A and B are shown apart, each in its own frame.
Chain A
Amino acid sequence: MAETEELYKQMAQSIIDGEAEQAVALAQKSIELQINPLDTITKGFVTGVSYIGEQFGKGEAFLPELVMAGEAMKAAIATLEPELIKLGQAREVLGRVVLATVEGDIHEIGKTLVGTMLSASGFEVYDLGVDASAEKIIGKAIEVNADLIGMSALLTTTMVRQREVIEELDKEGLRPRIKVIVGGAPITKDWAEKIKADGTSEDAVGAVKLAKQLLGKE
């Protein structure tokens, strides 16, 4: 038991250190030891992600650490997934999210970061990349039965596209079932309200909090 606890600690630490290889090795070890993969995730790896997220919120961890932690988390989950399937268990998916940078805009640093953090936190993320049309975003959301759409825009000339997607969703009667969050440098709370988005966040950690809140998964 103490050994398992020690392993969980090492798993958390591998995420905090952003050591994907180490995280994968620990995940494999947990499989060999026949530890329940769900426990491995929630008691081990997630602890690390939560810690880094908290530290980031306090200004004591930095973006590279956050990104590396997210990548390590992804690698660990990928290792555990076949095991979960074998056991007929599924990791609780907090929600399905379609993410995209809107049409005409090719900036994706912030959006990708949000995607990393969302998937590290237990969301299923479909990242459509950049320059995504309303049609493409909504089509994907319907296809995967998304709970949430996240749209990014860095340019003031493209932020209006966020409104177009929201209007289109309204027209199709897909809201409020599908929630919409928006982000990007020029995006303010006022803008989010004006275009009737469900929320916006300044950073990736805040976006995860917002997503959980909107889907009632706090």
Chain B
Amino acid sequence: MQPKLSLLTDNLIQRILDEAFQLMLKPGIKVQNAEARALLKSAGAAVAEETLVVRIPEPVVRKALETVPRQFQLYDYEGEPGVQYGGEAVHFDPGSSGVAILDPDTLEHRDAQTPDLIRVLKVAEQIPQYDAQSTAIVCTEVKKEIQDLYRLYLVMLYSRKPIVTGAFTNKTVHQMIDMLAIFAGGREALRQKPRAVFDVCPSPPLIWSNFGADNLISLARAGIPAEIVSMPLAGAAAPVTLLGAVTQHAAECLSGITIHQLAQAGSPIVWGGAPSIFDMRKGGTPFGSMETAMIDSSYAQIGKSLGLPTHAYLCATESKLLDMQAGLESGMGALVGALSGINMISGAGMLDSLLCQSPEKLVIDAESIAMAQRMLAGMLIHTETLATGFYEGIDFKGGDFLKQRITMKLFQKEQHVPGAVIDRDSMRGWKESGSLDAFERAKMRVDQLLASYTRPELDPVKVAELHAFVLDLAKQAGMDALPSHELSPAVV
């Protein structure tokens, strides 16, 4: 039995949804995209063109909810299913769009560039706890016009896993879909077996920006999965109460789903978010706080009550270093997310409120995730009797059970055997291994993973086509060439 965290009673779920539907009528949803307003209007919503506020009646939303797929999958490069959205499946992926990277030697958070994203990709590619890659870093040395799609380009070259990504503009979302289609063998093949899901963000409170709404429409029509990342900031851009923030989240997601399904009924979309409480001392967004995790867990419960696939941002920290704060915040977030049955949990590897990525943190977070996954597996019944069968011929000695064949057979099913990042050594053994702390051990593990990485075998024709496509866009943005790296065309 998969253990489950439920913070809301059925009654409370109904109250939240009821108030979310009320919010969509009053004050309504501000929709800054004309096409989205037209879609909503034709479905029966009342549009005030001067204020851009749309009042969406409940039946319009209910109808949209009927056509949303309950589940869908993301596929890897070879077209094998790798991520299950919907139901109780739980997956993790590295946090997305960091602008800085933790320099493991100087501990500086420096501007991230191509080699940094490649390091993240190589590490995450080999860690089984990450079922998907993400476009984890914005490479600051490329022109901003192509920064979103350039991340995807590197992920496609260095990984074969499914991808969590997102576009920064109305134009690039189409280009990014085209890039994925090159590898999938056309847009229709991509639609059949999508490799990536695209994050789309409403703006709190209750706004669908021109960009956000346009992305919803584009993705719906292309049949590529969209993932709503609603970000109520409890106490600033959302009510201070956690339940108030969950209700706003529901209204933002429901209105987004309505726009999306009106553009193309049946297109896949995820009930997701990156909410946070608002820190009243520093004005920051503490993604590592327990209250943030509680908002995530609760909205996931709402999404599940509607039968929708879910996503959340957890497993992140405000800490700037890989210290105890980073560990406790990330670990608790991972556990709450997993116990909430959230299909995709993004955020691993992130420091400093999602601004800074760290491959070393990805390695440590993988251990938190493994622990959470072990918890999810629950208490397993492996044997006919729970205990009595183990005692036949027992001699009242301490090591008796170690000699049993069943111990050898079952221990790896009962115990997660941690990697070398987790220290369980004796004091003497620990000293002999250099008296290293978790961060130092993580640095060593990253070095090992970078050394053991092998690049995926990709179709060179498709790679050449992808490169030409991206190079062309780079040139249009005013770049002479793309940054060179080991899988640049000359090397491939």
Chain A residues with CB under 8 Å of chain B are 59, 62-64, 106, 109-110, 113, 156-157, 160, 185-186, 202-204
The 4 closest A-B pairs by CB, nearest first: A62-B280, A156-B99, A63-B280, A109-B236
B376 within 8 A of A: no
Check B233 against A203 for contact (C-beta < 8 Å). Answer: no
- Give the B interface residue count (CB, 8 A): 22
Q: How far is the CB of A61 from chain B (nearest CB, A)?
A: 9
Please state if A157 and B147 are interface contacts (CB–CB under 8 Å). yes
> Are A106 and B278 in contact, CB atoms less than 8 angstroms apart?
no
A186 to B236, CA, bound (A): 19
Other A-B contacts than A106-B209, A156-B99, 17 sampled, CB-CB below 8 A, are A59-B281, A62-B280, A63-B236, A63-B278, A64-B280, A106-B207, A109-B236, A109-B278, A156-B97, A156-B138, A156-B140, A157-B138, A157-B168, A160-B144, A185-B353, A186-B355, A203-B283
B138 touching A62, Cβ below 8 Å: no
Q: How far is the CA of A117 from the CA of B237 in the complex (A)?
A: 19
Chain A hits for B355, CB < 8 A: 185-186
B354: nearest residue on chain A (CB-CB)? A185
Is B307 an interface position by the 8 A CB rule? no
Q: What's the nearest-Cβ distance from chain B to residue A166, in Å?
A: 17
Q: Which residues of A are found within 8 Å of B281, using beta-carbon distances? A: 59, 62-63
User: In the complex, A22→B386 CA distance in Å?
Assistant: 70
The interface residues of chain B, by DSSP majority, are classed as loop
A109→B283 contact, CB < 8 A? yes
B150-191 vs A, CB cutoff 8 Å, 1 = contact: the mask equals: 000000000000000000100000000000000000000000
Q: Name, among A106, A110, A113, A203, the residue most crowded by chain B CB atoms within 10 Å (CB to CB).
A: A106
Residues of B within 8 A of A186 (CB): 99, 355
Q: How far is the CB of A159 from chain B (nearest CB, A)?
A: 9
Docked Cα-Cα span, A202 to B283, in Å, equals 9
What is the CB-to-nearest-CB distance from A152 to chain B, in angstroms, rounded to a whole number?
12
Of the candidates A64, A106, A160, A185, the one whose C-beta lies within 8 Å of that of B235 is A64
A-B contact pairs, 24 of them (CB 8 A): A62-B281, A63-B236, A63-B278, A63-B281, A63-B283, A64-B235, A64-B280, A106-B203, A106-B207, A106-B209, A109-B278, A109-B283, A113-B283, A156-B97, A156-B99, A156-B138, A157-B144, A157-B147, A185-B284, A185-B353, A185-B355, A202-B282, A203-B282, A204-B283
Instruction: Give the chain B neighbours of A109 by CB distance below 8 A.
Output: 233, 236-237, 278, 283
State A113–B280 Cα separation when bound (angstroms). Answer: 12
Contacts of B97 in A (CB 8 A): 156
Task: Specify the chain A residue showing the minimal Cβ separation from B203.
Answer: A106
A110 proximity list for chain B (CB < 8 A): 283
Least Cβ distance of A67 to chain B in Å?
A: 10
Distance of A97 from chain B, by nearest CB (Å): 19
Q: How far is the CA of A106 from the CA of B278 in the complex (A)?
A: 17
Which residues of A sit under 8 angstroms from B280, Cβ to Cβ? 62-64
Chain B residues near A156: list those with CB within 8 A. Answer: 97, 99, 138, 140
B236 to chain A, nearest CB (A): 5
A113 to B237, CA, bound (A): 13
Complex Cα distance A150/B283, Å? 18
Instruction: Tell me, rounded to whole Å, the shortest Cβ–Cβ distance linking B230 to chain A.
Output: 15
Report chain B residues within 8 Å CB of A59.
281
**Which A residues are in CB contact (< 8 Å) with B207?**
106
Closest to B280 in A: A62
Which A residues are in CB contact (< 8 Å) with B278? 63, 109
- The CA of A186 and the CA of B111, in the complex, are separated in Å by 11
- Give, as a whole number of angstroms, the nearest-CB distance from B277 to chain A: 12
In whole Å, how far is A134's beta carbon from the nearest beta carbon of chain B? 15
Complex contacts, A157 vs chain B, CB 8 Å: 138, 144, 147, 168
CB distance from A209 to the nearest CB of B (A): 16
CB-based nearest B residue for A130: B203
* Nearest-Cβ distance from residue A55 to partner chain B, whole angstroms: 11
Distance from A155 Cβ to chain B, minimum over Cβ atoms (Å): 8
Distance of A109 Cα from B231 Cα, bound (Å): 14
State the Cβ distance, B264 to closest chain A Cβ, in Å.
26
A161's closest neighbor in chain B, by CB? B144
| B243-282, CB < 8 A from A | 278, 280-282
- Residue picked from B147, B280, B282, most chain A C-beta under 10 Å: B280
For B138, what are the chain A residues with a Cβ–Cβ distance below 8 Å? 156-157
Among A59, A62, A160: residue with most chain B CB under 10 A: A62
Q: How far apart are B135's CB and chain A's nearest CB, in angstroms?
A: 13
Q: Give, as a whole number of angstroms, the nearest-CB distance from A41 to chain B.
A: 27
What is the bound-complex CA distance between A109 and B281, given in angstroms?
14
Closest to B98 in A: A156
Contacts of A203 in B (CB 8 A): 282-283
Most chain-B CB neighbours within 10 Å: which of A106, A109, A156, A186?
A156
CB distance from A49 to the nearest CB of B (A): 18
Contacts of A202 in B (CB 8 A): 282
* Alpha-carbon distance A38/B462, docked complex (angstroms): 74
